[in-house]
Amino acid sequence: MKRIWKRNALIVCCMAAFAAAQTACSVIDEDTDDCLAEYDATYVLHLVTNEEHEIQRVLGEGADVAEPLRNDIAEALRNHLKNVFSYAGNDLDLSFYDLKGFLPRAQQEQHSFDGQPIKHVYLSLPVGEYRHIASANINGNDAASYYKYDQSWHDASLKLNLEGPAPLFDGSFTPSFGFPWQEGIDSDLPSNYIPATSIRSMHTGMYTGRRDLISPSYGSYKEYNEKKVQEEYTFTQPLYIANSAAALILDPRTAKFSDVQMFTTGFATRFTPADSTFHFDDLPLVKAESVSLPNTNWMCFCTVNFPSREPARQQSMAPTRAVDTSVYPDNAPYRIDTDDPFLYDDCGQNIWRYEVYVKMKDAKESVTRTVLNIRHPLRAGQLKIIKAYIDDQGVIRLYENEVGLAVDIEWQEGWIFNPVIG
């Protein structure tokens, strides 16, 4: 009897010790509320761009501009866009949402890339199922910021900072915003439409990526073989750029003017990483920044913005942007310069536009407005450059025939255009 009692006592003691050891992470009925899943994550910025191809197309060998001037303009434009078409990272936001419902953000972490294209992060999350959204280089962008990131994964967006008074319209015109614009931008905006507000140009290349994290429960961990466990808890997450840029290079020649302002319009106002969707809620003008050209009287203006829309038929015809992820993260380059898949046929619609306002030195201080309508969608990672000159009436004249571009010229008296910068 004594031996039986001692054996039962030993069993009870062992069970009590085991239960005490499991108080921090219960395995009873697979209750994993107190368990933590550890992840070994690597975030890599992938940049697919046509920046250098576009600069060489417009300012490369054979361009009708003197070589020293071509080189100066090209270098100034590269320098202006060095923080946009760059695979170097700054800030990194990691947001995790419970996939069991459209619930507020369950956890957030913020890190620094330290100027590198790769960031290695160790994550510790309660065992569960998450939609993970990663965003980089949003802080300091000036024009766009986080929107509803703290609410739910399907609402989390990067959104333009639209401020200032609402656009004014006369009683005969009701704007029809939204996506898609079946007949192009001109069916939604009258030719003399000028918004009362504009937005700043972006200053960084913004990157996003997403994935689902589904943690095996603590109690069933042993059911996973070593390879699958490694795949579940060690991952590399690619992040892709979400903005684009447009530049205008102007030769003033003999024109007499006192001011030139350039804007672009027709771009998205919001981007949701959860489904990689761009939204077109408004048509603000993007205020161009002047690119410094110290050794010439030529001028260069540039805007950085979200991409333009794409007609449905064009989306199906355009090549899919593919990145060979097998070269990441161990092998450079993290930047791929290509002219494909950015080049495709004229879609037949005015998708987006440059608007140029030249204030003349005449008695009326008249303003010439030239609209350059583009029929090629502007995609994420893409740069579009147009080279032109100003004639004696203030009209913007193209150096060469641009495929998929239409020019609309309108005179206005008085320098009446004075948008509020939001």
Provide the CA 377 distance to its chain's centre, in angstroms: 15
pTM of the full predicted structure? 0.80
Q: How far is residue 141 from each of residues 83, 144, 158, 242, measured CA to CA in Å?
A: 10, 6, 11, 12
Least reliable range by pLDDT among 89-98, 111-120, 177-186, 325-334: 177-186
- H or E element, residue 11: helix 2-21
Q: Does the pLDDT at position 377 exceed 70?
A: yes
Provide the CA 165 distance to its chain's centre, in angstroms: 25
Structure tokens at 244: 């684009």
406 within 8 A of 373, measured Cβ to Cβ: yes
Per-residue pLDDT tens over the stretch 54-112:
999 999 877 678 888 999 999 999 999 999 999 889 999 999 998 876 678 999 999 99
Per-residue pLDDT tens over the stretch 143-172:
899 999 998 888 999 999 876 444 333 332
Q: How far apart are CA 133 and CA 150, in angstroms?
A: 12
Q: Which fold has domain 36-421?
A: Immunoglobulin-like (2.60.40)
> In the prediction, which pLDDT does 61 show?
74
Which of the given ranges, 11-15, 160-164, 245-249, 340-344, has the highest pLDDT on average? 245-249
Q: Residue 293 has what DSSP assignment?
A: -
415 within 8 A of 405, measured Cβ to Cβ: no
Provide the CA 388 distance to its chain's centre, in angstroms: 28
- The proportion of the chain whose per-residue pLDDT surpasses 70, expressed as a percent, equals 68
Strands lying side by side in the sheet with 367-374: 405-412, 367-374, 352-360, 257-265, 285-287, 197-199, 420-421
pLDDT band at 324 (very low <50, low <70, confident <90, very high): very low
> In the prediction, which pLDDT does 244 show?
96
Q: Does the pLDDT at position 365 exceed 80?
A: no
> In the prediction, which pLDDT does 163 show?
61
Per-residue pLDDT tens over the stretch 264-315:
988 999 999 998 899 887 777 888 999 999 989 999 999 999 998 877 654 4
